[in-house]
């Protein structure tokens, strides 16, 4: 890369600035140090302090999106698990609530789900409103330490006050363990056609399906997966839901299965299967060795979808834990550890080889937009670097969102993309080359805490889907993460970054050829924790 040069003739007059107003109200906002620690995500959910892993019990009820999560309130590494709790009215701003579930004599509270029992099938309703029922794994540490294989069982608890207080069901466990060492993470939904609750549960290297009339008594239905998909590690946190194909009438069932280790770039990742479900069995035409990854980055794990989102909304909403078991417990944050991804909607779209599941940031993120800079049809000459900051004398600082449409037909570069730099000499690069995309954090900041953190993906770049000679990049940068959505979310990469100081310069670059851009927009986003 050599000079700093943009074909000025094209650029002048094309840069427009704007202001977008979004709603802000954060009750904690009077304290200006609140959520301002080094690396603290500004537009992602993170606990005020202590350790967090998987999202749990996501359910929508009466205007609130509930987010429970694996939480250890006495330290910043994994420990005896509780369910922490937060709610949001818009999936963007979160209000912290008290811990919902505590370990008891049946064990720690591991991952699971929550549903609204609209017809009171469980009989747990008190008063006029339907109960919120949580279904989760209990992990008996002493059983594990004694070398037994039956230390994970499934339990339920219910709340009659919108998840604020909980009662533990006295008949727990509702599914005992018959000797399967990894037997956990129940996700439950009501299946109208067979008029029963369905539970999907991870069981070692496969999933098991159970059915129930009342959330209390469960019958084994079927299993899936022992010879399908990726098996480099244990299966965890499954989900099963229906998605209507975009621009078509067809509906398919999608199964998410997280796997650790064995992800495409090492450590934790989430695979999915597309098929059918008849109330008893999940089947797929997918070839056994066909592995589909929901996210090709390193840091989107154990994600599942919200239950009970109103049909008038119609979205299948997802959130993942933005970390990786390879290094989650040693990342350089002090007061808290881990954040969630930006909530995303999932879409069934037609790809080159059949359906695929695309992920897109929720539209509510736009509520955080404060200021933007955009231009249309610009070109970048051979071997040039263009600083977006110098063009309008503005310092671009995370959190921000950059949306670019590259003209793939007219671009002749062998490599092009986006570079973020800071005064500390760190550099984060998103590069597109020969139809593949890379997220390169090898020199993007702190990395010595774990050697697996900053390795380049060992499988090389991820193939970029062909979309009418355009490549659309939508990247959300926060203080310590980049979430890359390519071509409307058909390829996604989520990666943590720990720069020594804020990235404050953004560059476009091209190597060995000319880069043509159809549209460019960078939007500054405001913190969800400050006014």
Interacting residues toward ligand FRU by CB under 6 A: 53-54, 70, 81, 110-111, 137, 184-185, 236-237, 302
Task: State how far the Cα of 137 lies from the Cα of 146, in Å rounded to an integer.
Answer: 19
Provide the minimum distance between the beta carbon of 164 and ligand FRU in the complex, in angstroms, as a whole number.
23
Give the residue with the Cβ less far from ligand FRU, 71 or 503. Answer: 71
Residue 217's alpha-carbon distances to 120, 154, 191, 311, in angstroms, are 14, 11, 16, 28
SS3 153: strand
Minimum distance between the CB of residue 257 and ligand FRU, rounded to whole angstroms?
11
- Number of neighbours of residue 315 by Cβ within 10 angstroms: 18
Residue 265 or 510: the one with the smaller Cβ distance to ligand FRU is 265
- Give me the least distance between CB of 322 and ligand FRU, in Å please: 12
Cβ neighbours of 74 (radius 10 Å): 9
Please provide residue 507's backbone torsions phi and psi, each rounded to the nearest 5 degrees.
Answer: -125, 145
What is 325-371 written as a DSSP string? Answer: TTTGGGSS-SSEE--BPPPEEEEEEEETTEEEEEEEE-GGGGGGEEE
- Residue whose CB is less far from ligand FRU, 84 or 399: 84
Distance CA 471, CA 513 (A): 17
Check if the beta carbon of residue 388 is closer than 8 Å to that of residue 522: yes
State which residue, 154 or 411, has the beta carbon closest to ligand FRU. Answer: 154
Residue number with CB closer to ligand FRU (187 or 421): 187
Q: How far is CA 327 from CA 130, 376, 449, 455, in A?
A: 41, 41, 8, 12
Nearer Cβ to ligand FRU, position 208 or 358? 208
Q: Residue 54 catalytic?
A: yes
CB of 268 to ligand FRU, least distance (A): 7
| CA 215 – CA 147 distance, rounded (Å) | 30
**CB contact at 8 A, 43 and 482:** no
Q: What are the backbone dihedrals phi and psi of residue 309, each rounded to the nearest 5 degrees, phi first?
A: -65, 130
Give the nearest distance from C-beta 174 to ligand FRU in angstroms.
Answer: 16
Which one is catalytic: 25, 54, 141, 185? 54
- Which residue spans within 424-489 are E strands per DSSP? 427-433, 436-443, 462-463, 470-478, 481-486
The SS3 call for residue 390 is helix
Which H helix or E strand runs over 98? strand 95-101
Q: Which one, of 11, 33, 18, lies nearest residue 530 by Cα?
A: 33
Q: How far is the CB of 54 from ligand FRU (least distance, A)?
A: 5
Tell me the backbone φ, ψ of residue 388, rounded to 5 degrees: -75, -20
Place of tokens 């310092």: 395
Q: Given the structure tokens 């350089």, which residue do they identify? A: 332
Give the SS3 label for residue 439. Answer: strand
CB of 301 to ligand FRU, least distance (A): 6
Identify the three-state secondary structure at position 274: strand
Minimum distance from residue 127 beta carbon to ligand FRU (Å): 31
- Could you list the active site residues? 54
């Amino acid at each position: 890369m050599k000079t700093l040069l943009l074909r000025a003739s094209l650029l002048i007059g094309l840069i427009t600035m704007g202001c977008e107003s979004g709603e802000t109200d954060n009750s904690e906002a009077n304290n200006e140090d609140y959520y301002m620690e080094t690396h603290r995500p500004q537009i992602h959910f993170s606990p005020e302090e202590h350790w967090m892993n998987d999202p749990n019990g996501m359910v929508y009820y009466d205007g609130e999106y509930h987010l429970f999560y694996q939480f250890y309130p006495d330290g910043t590494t994994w420990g005896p698990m509780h369910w922490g709790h937060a709610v949001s009215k818009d999936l963007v701003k979160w209000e912290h609530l008290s811990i919902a579930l505590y370990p008891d004599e049946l064990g720690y509270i591991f991952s699971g789900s929550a549903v609204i029992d609209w017809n009171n099938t469980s009989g747990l309703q008190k008063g006029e409103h339907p109960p919120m029922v949580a279904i989760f794994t209990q992990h008996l540490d002493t059983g594990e330490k004694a070398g037994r294989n039956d230390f994970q069982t499934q339990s339920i608890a219910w709340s009659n006050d919108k998840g604020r207080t909980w009662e533990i069901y006295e008949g727990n466990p509702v599914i005992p363990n018959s000797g399967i060492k990894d037997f956990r993470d129940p996700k439950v939904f009501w299946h109208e056609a067979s008029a029963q609750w369905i539970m999907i549960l991870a069981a070692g290297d496969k999933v098991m399906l159970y059915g129930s009339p009342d959330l209390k008594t469960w019958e084994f239905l079927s299993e899936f997966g022992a010879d399908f998909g990726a098996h480099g590690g244990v299966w965890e946190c499954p989900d099963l839901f229906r998605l209507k194909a975009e621009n078509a009438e067809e509906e398919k069932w999608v199964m998410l299965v997280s796997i650790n280790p064995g992800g495409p770039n090492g450590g934790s990742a989430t695979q999915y299967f597309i098929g059918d479900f008849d109330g008893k069995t999940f089947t797929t035409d997918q070839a056994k060795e066909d592995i589909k990854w929901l996210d090709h980055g390193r840091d989107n794990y154990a994600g599942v979808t919200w239950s009970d989102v109103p049909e008038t909304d119609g979205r299948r909403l997802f959130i993942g834990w933005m970390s990786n078991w390879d290094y989650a417990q040693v990342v350089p944050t002090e007061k808290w550890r881990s954040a969630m991804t930006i909530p995303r909607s999932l879409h069934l779209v037609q790809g080159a080889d059949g359906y695929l599941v695309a992920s897109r940031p929720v539209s509510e993120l736009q509520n955080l937009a404060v200021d933007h800079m955009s231009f249309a049809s610009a070109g970048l000459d051979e071997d040039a670097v263009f600083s977006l900051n110098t063009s309008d004398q503005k310092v671009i600082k995370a959190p921000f969102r950059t949306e670019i449409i590259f003209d793939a037909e007219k671009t002749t570069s062998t490599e092009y993309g986006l570079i973020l730099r800071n005064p500390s000499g760190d550099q984060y690069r998103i590069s597109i080359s020969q139809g593949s995309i890379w997220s390169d954090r090898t020199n993007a900041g702190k990395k010595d805490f774990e050697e697996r953190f900053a390795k380049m993906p060992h499988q090389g770049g991820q193939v970029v889907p062909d979309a009418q000679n355009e490549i659309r990049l939508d990247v959300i940068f926060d203080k310590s993460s980049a979430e890359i959505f390519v071509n409307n979310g058909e390829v996604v990469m989520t990666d943590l970054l720990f720069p020594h100081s804020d990235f404050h310069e953004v560059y476009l670059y091209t190597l060995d050829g000319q880069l043509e851009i159809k549209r460019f927009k960078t939007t500054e986003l405001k913190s969800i924790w400050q006014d």
